[in-house]
Structure 1
Amino acid sequence: MPDLTISSTLHDAGRVLALDGEIDLATENRFQDAVTEALVTQPDGRVVLDCADLRFIDSSGLRVLIRAHKTAREQRAVLAIASPIPRVMQTLRITALDTRIPVFGTVSEALAAPRSNVS
């Protein structure tokens, strides 16, 4: 059974949510809650989704990303994606989400990026 583990780490430059597993209908609500909580507790801050261990994301996960992008703008926070595997990156590209939410090769790059590059 696919599952999702989300671990949250606070850094000087923002909060990192490490996603391990799959985001689908079964795990969508947990992902939504974690991302929303991170964004509303980091107003004017930065939230990086570490996707190095995210093996799959379907349309329900993409919906969460779209809502998270909107929440980030409302909170004047920065939302970024880091280290997506090729399969996940292809999904972000096909849906053009990579044009709305900045994608970085590493978490360090996402945390270090100037706000103007990620807002």
Structure 2
Amino acid sequence: MAATTSVLIGAVLTSGIAVASPSGPTGTRTVQGSNATAAAATSRAASPISVRTLEAVTLRAEPTTGSAALGVLGKGVKLLAYEGAVRGNYKACGKSGNKWERVGKEGTGIKGWVVSSCLKYPWS
């Protein structure tokens, strides 16, 4: 799979979102663990969940801290969560974790992965 890279050059922050256009191909990706075992994933494509960011969080191309940063979502941004994945370890928003959400901003075409510890769910 070809790597996708993004650069934030002169990015404009609008409605709490700074976005960069990817310089490589985009599309559906299969999430796999680094040791050839598939990462656990939960799909909610049929009925996505409405979530909000708890603070500014990096939107990434893949559910890992080492993947390309696509932009920064500001605090309080409303998103739809389509799919969850368990992959690697991170520390974000004052918590350690390994859960990610594939999210999108309705009506904008903005999609990517964020750490789940930085999201407010309807049940939390």
TM-score bracket for the superposition, by shorter chain length: under 0.3
Structure with greater proportional helix content: 1
Q: TM-score, normalised by structure 1?
A: 0.28
Structure with greater proportional strand content: 2
